[in-house]
A and B are shown apart, each in its own frame.
Chain A
Amino acid sequence: MPAEWQDFWALTKPRVMSLAIFTALVGMVAAPVAVPPALGVAAIVAIALGAGASGALNQWYEVDVDAAMRRTAARPLPGGRMEKVSALHFGVGLGVFSVLLLGFATNWLAAAVLAISILFYLLIYTVWLKPRTAQNIVIGGAAGAFPPLIGWAAATGSIGWDGALPSLPWMLFALIFLWTPPHFWALSLFVRTDYAAANIPMLPVVAGERSTRRHIFLYTLPMVACAMAIPALGQAGALFAWVAGAMSVIFLGLAAQVGFRREVAGDSMRPEKRLFYFSILYLFLLFLTLMAEALLH
């Protein structure tokens, strides 16, 4: 029985894809070179398809892990609604197509960075780090940090590595890279039984809950410093400084609450869930502000 098209759509991890689209769009809009709308749309479509390919290949490789976790057991492959080989063909096809489309529409540097990001997510994060080390999400966070860099490269033809001070696309890369650990560790605290069941060495499984809480708070500090460094280094304006400042204070407060508390039986991990959802809002608002500043400039 052929899989439903909706299952192929689910294979692309649409929610993760939407974050990649948005951050890539901000990277492109914030670049000093205006992109013709048709090329901009094509670039965003290509980056979205590249992110979708990463998601599909990740699900193809992790079918056993997904089957063992309640959160992911209903996905198309562990749910038995799709042949594994279909997911592989879909992921590879989508990945190759996305790289070619980006290269054709914009430039081959951007296409190369997109290819690296897909391979990084599959080979470095999914295959190598995730099943082996509790640092999986720290190093693997780079995979999700590529989109603004790709957006910038699509617009300018360079990756902005041209001076002593870090340029905006690299600061955005660093911001997402540093945001990923507290974001995922907050999630891993309230789904740690899932990770334990799947033998994934996430920090709460390997080092325990107390250590994870400390890590969440400690990793929030460089993330906040990075967010505030963007306006401090003149890469963003006063509006971004205010929004980033206010949001960072709240993030720090929530991270401290999670970092220095002990779980109370029956409290449903509310502070951890609050931090997890706020972290999404944090990244979204900071990037939205940056885009607004770039458009108003």
Chain B
Amino acid sequence: MTDTNKVPGDDAGFDMDEYRRRQRARARVMAILLVAFVLLIFAVTIAKMGLASR
């Protein structure tokens, strides 16, 4: 019988729920940063094209 919230063989009582919560939070922040990055590069590209066409 294995506790689904514990990593098998881990005597320290590894909390899988906490592990997943942290992963989800980090993934959410990464998603926001990636969207911000894409928007930033898009804006930079448009601005540089504007400068080049002057």
Contacts and interface: CB of A to CB of B under 8 A. Distances in A.
Interface of A: 1-5, 36-39, 41-42, 45, 104-105
A36 B26 contact: no
Contacts of A5: 25-26, 29
A1 B19 contact: yes
B43 interface: yes
Interface residues of B, number: 17
A2 B30 CA distance: 14
Contacts, number: 36
Given A1-B19, A36-B50, A41 B26 contact: no
Contacts of A4: 22, 25-26
A157 B12 CA distance: 56
Contact of B51 (A3, A36, A37): A36
A36 B47 contact: yes
A41 B25 contact: no
B26 to A, nearest CB: 5
A42 B46 CA distance: 12
16 contacts: A1-B14, A1-B18, A1-B19, A2-B26, A3-B22, A4-B25, A4-B26, A36-B51, A37-B47, A38-B40, A38-B43, A38-B47, A39-B47, A41-B43, A42-B40, A104-B44
Nearest to A37: B47
Interface string B6-42: 0000000011001100110110010000000000100
Residue from the set A1, A45, A104 with the largest chain B CB neighbour count within 10 Å: A1
Contact of B19 (A2, A39, A42): A2
Contacts of A41: 40, 43
B50 to A, nearest CB: 7
Contacts of A36: 47, 50-51
Given A1-B18, A2-B19, A39 B44 contact: yes
